[in-house]
Chain A
């Protein structure tokens, strides 16, 4: 995973709450067996509407998405993160995130930055007053700046460290391999095993 430090790019306002992962990427696109090339699938239903925010010329090439509360609820599909990333987004700003979505983002180098609802409104106001305005999101200082408005954001300290360092989770865990093996030797015999087939 490549490290995430500071992101500067066009910010797009998505004035909707409860953006579930079915909206971010509909099920029809989940049949693919690859992990890239999902840019065409992002918000596929909504993008059929020419008025949809990401269809507007001012927001082309956007890297920061500023969304209403409860972004990424519902299905666990990591394809939602892949689609956002493939489309060009590096940061999603929202007051609240679905737990699984937030976890998936952290694994894939997409920053889920949690700000207060009031601050989302302030960011929206700046961006909508001057569409195409760039945002700067700095992970080290945990701040998002649009125009002359700077707001703090929350991110889990461990996720922040991993993002800043660009660390691979599996590699980190395998450092504890002896502890896993030791745990397995203590595992009770009544616990489930799928093999042999019964």
Chain B
């Protein structure tokens, strides 16, 4: 019987095969490290007198806790500063490559790996961060781990793991203008639920996935964890190779040819069988938005806030009731009538150059809605430089947005970038949990295009709403690219 993409990558990393219910020992090709989930792991190594086994397969950056303003000044918050300094000390002591704040390669760990060409097809990637699933866009097996496992990988470059089950998510058809990868993944999560992917690695397939850029594929794989899945993957193809080739750490010469020959063998075999299958029709999809406090509580933007009674499952009913109370929303309200206080454009889900271009394509030449605070946070220092070279920073500041330095920022509000209690935000990030973006903050997850249109109009909006206001300008923006 044939094998799936996930099974092939798994099999090629088995150091020892587990017997009698024991896990396989899996080799890890690339370990990404950041300041928040690593200090206790390095401490563990020190206590046991163990070195980092493969510093040459390990790379660290500072992202979760770092400020996005005045990055040349000492970090004001002492516990934040201590955590950053601890990472710097640990990396120096254990010989781990670090890109600190201020470095051209600093940024969100899931933006940095792909941009350096370290993320590639057919490898295993781990990081003490659940959004490590992002790297699966390249056909890598990439998943988030806890701090004990971070220590385990630092010490052994392996992890004991039971094989994941496999689920095919097939999206066939063509996305309409204004409908993006973010809308696809929000629709997937709404369909299978926040627990639907538990124990699975998801493989995204079908014509709509194949036609996505690498940035779009990363957005989709990134949020696999929001469906409960360990990982998400897309089979590598010409789009993958074109994105990768020429990046600093991409293979070259004979290595490149050998790699491509191997990568071409990774696609799921025709006779492979998935443990579960889900189908979505791309033509049917509309811009999506969440109304509740978990990423599965989402609907089309043209819809209304659902009534808790409309759910069959009693847990979902209770969760919906609680969510509406927290979000201060009434069932039956059209989502497009919901006003926002803030728009956050950033996070490991949507902060790459293409995302910024998409946002810019809508806000260019416009002025933000009065009273709405708009923050644009590039995913990495490199993305920031690229955006500035294209003049996007001017587009954002002319619009009235704040143009910040790179980091996780308001996605999780570990640094000063937070919502105030009761503030409502249209956010391109990945989690709308209670208090995620700041205590009492209310989050609506959206795509960069919806975030941009919302920033223009002040209420949750899609680009087509702007089209109704002023048709010609939006047509031109969508045609100019970035919409996909």
CB pair A76 B198 closer than 8 Å: no
Q: B222 at interface (Cβ–Cβ under 8 A)?
A: no
CB pair B21 A157 closer than 8 Å: yes
A125 vs B156: C-alpha distance when bound (angstroms): 46
CB pair A188 B194 closer than 8 Å: no
Interchain Cβ contacts within 8 Å, total number: 213
Q: B77 at interface (Cβ–Cβ under 8 A)?
A: yes
CB pair B319 A192 closer than 8 Å: no
Name the residue among B194, B319, B431 with the largest chain A CB count within 10 angstroms: B194
Q: A60 at interface (Cβ–Cβ under 8 A)?
A: no
Q: B400 at interface (Cβ–Cβ under 8 A)?
A: no
Across the two chains, which residue of chain A brings its CB closest to B261?
Answer: A190
Q: A104 at interface (Cβ–Cβ under 8 A)?
A: yes
Q: Which of A77-129 contact B (CB under 8 A)?
A: 77-79, 81, 96-100, 103-104, 107-108
Q: B225 at interface (Cβ–Cβ under 8 A)?
A: yes
CB pair B433 A78 closer than 8 Å: no
CB pair A192 B118 closer than 8 Å: yes
Across the two chains, which residue of chain A brings its CB closest to B113?
Answer: A192
Return the contact of B255 from the options A20, A32, A190 (Cβ within 8 A): A190
Known contacts A76-B129, A107-B146, A98 near B198 by CB under 8 Å = yes
Q: A176 at interface (Cβ–Cβ under 8 A)?
A: yes
Across the two chains, which residue of chain A brings its CB closest to B155?
Answer: A170
Q: What number of A residues sit within 8 Å (CB to CB) of B? A: 62
Return the contact of A158 from the options B23, B79, B147 (Cβ within 8 A): B23
CB pair A27 B412 closer than 8 Å: yes
CB pair A22 B130 closer than 8 Å: no
What is the 8 Å Cβ interface bit string for chain B, positions 259-280, against chain A (1 contact, 0 not)? 1001000000000000000000
Residues on A with C-beta less than 8 A from B97 are 194-195, 197
Residues on B with C-beta less than 8 A from A176 are 15-16, 25, 158
Q: A69 at interface (Cβ–Cβ under 8 A)?
A: yes
Q: A70 at interface (Cβ–Cβ under 8 A)?
A: yes
Return the contact of A22 from the options B29, B39, B436 (Cβ within 8 A): B436
Return the contact of A198 from the options B148, B249, B433 (Cβ within 8 A): B249
CB pair A190 B251 closer than 8 Å: yes
CB pair A73 B228 closer than 8 Å: yes
Residues on B with C-beta less than 8 A from A45 are 434-435, 439
Shortest CB-to-CB span from A195 to chain B, Å, is 4
Residues on B with C-beta less than 8 A from A75 are 129-130, 412, 431
Shortest CB-to-CB span from B419 to chain A, Å, is 13
Across the two chains, which residue of chain A brings its CB closest to B252?
Answer: A190
Q: B369 at interface (Cβ–Cβ under 8 A)?
A: no
What is the 8 Å Cβ interface bit string for chain A, positions 58-76, against chain B (1 contact, 0 not)? 0000000000111001111
Shortest CB-to-CB span from A99 to chain B, Å, is 5
Across the two chains, which residue of chain A brings its CB closest to B36?
Answer: A30
Residues on B with C-beta less than 8 A from A70 are 194-195, 198, 228
Q: B27 at interface (Cβ–Cβ under 8 A)?
A: yes
Stretch at the interface among B51-59, B209-217, B234-242, B350-358: B51-59
Q: A173 at interface (Cβ–Cβ under 8 A)?
A: yes
Q: B30 at interface (Cβ–Cβ under 8 A)?
A: yes
Q: A166 at interface (Cβ–Cβ under 8 A)?
A: no
Across the two chains, which residue of chain B brings its CB closest to A101?
Answer: B146
What is the 8 Å Cβ interface bit string for chain A, positions 168-198, against chain B (1 contact, 0 not)? 0110111011011001100111111111011
Residues on B with C-beta less than 8 A from A194 are 30, 55-59, 97, 118, 249
Return the contact of B198 from the options A99, A173, A177 (Cβ within 8 A): A99
CB pair B294 A180 closer than 8 Å: no
Known contacts A23-B434, A77-B37, A69 near B195 by CB under 8 Å = yes
Residues on A with C-beta less than 8 A from B439 are 26, 45
Residues on B with C-beta less than 8 A from A15 are 318
Q: Which residues on B are within 8 Å of A, measured CB to CB?
A: 15-16, 18, 21-23, 25, 27, 29-30, 36-37, 39-40, 43, 48, 50, 55-59, 64-65, 77, 79-80, 82-83, 86, 97, 117-120, 123, 128-130, 144-149, 151-152, 155-158, 160, 162, 194-195, 198-199, 225-226, 228-230, 248-249, 251, 255-256, 258-259, 262, 294, 315-316, 318-319, 322, 412-414, 431, 433-436, 439
17 A–B pairs (Cβ distance < 8 Å), ordered by A: A16-B319, A31-B80, A45-B439, A73-B228, A74-B225, A75-B130, A75-B412, A104-B147, A174-B156, A180-B25, A183-B27, A190-B251, A190-B255, A190-B256, A192-B123, A192-B249, A195-B97
Known contacts A69-B315, A156-B162, A194-B118; 5 further A-B pairs (Cβ under 8 A) = A23-B435, A33-B39, A75-B431, A108-B148, A187-B27
| 7 A-B pairs with the lowest CB-CB distances in the bound complex, closest first | A107-B148, A104-B146, A78-B146, A33-B39, A190-B259, A190-B251, A190-B255
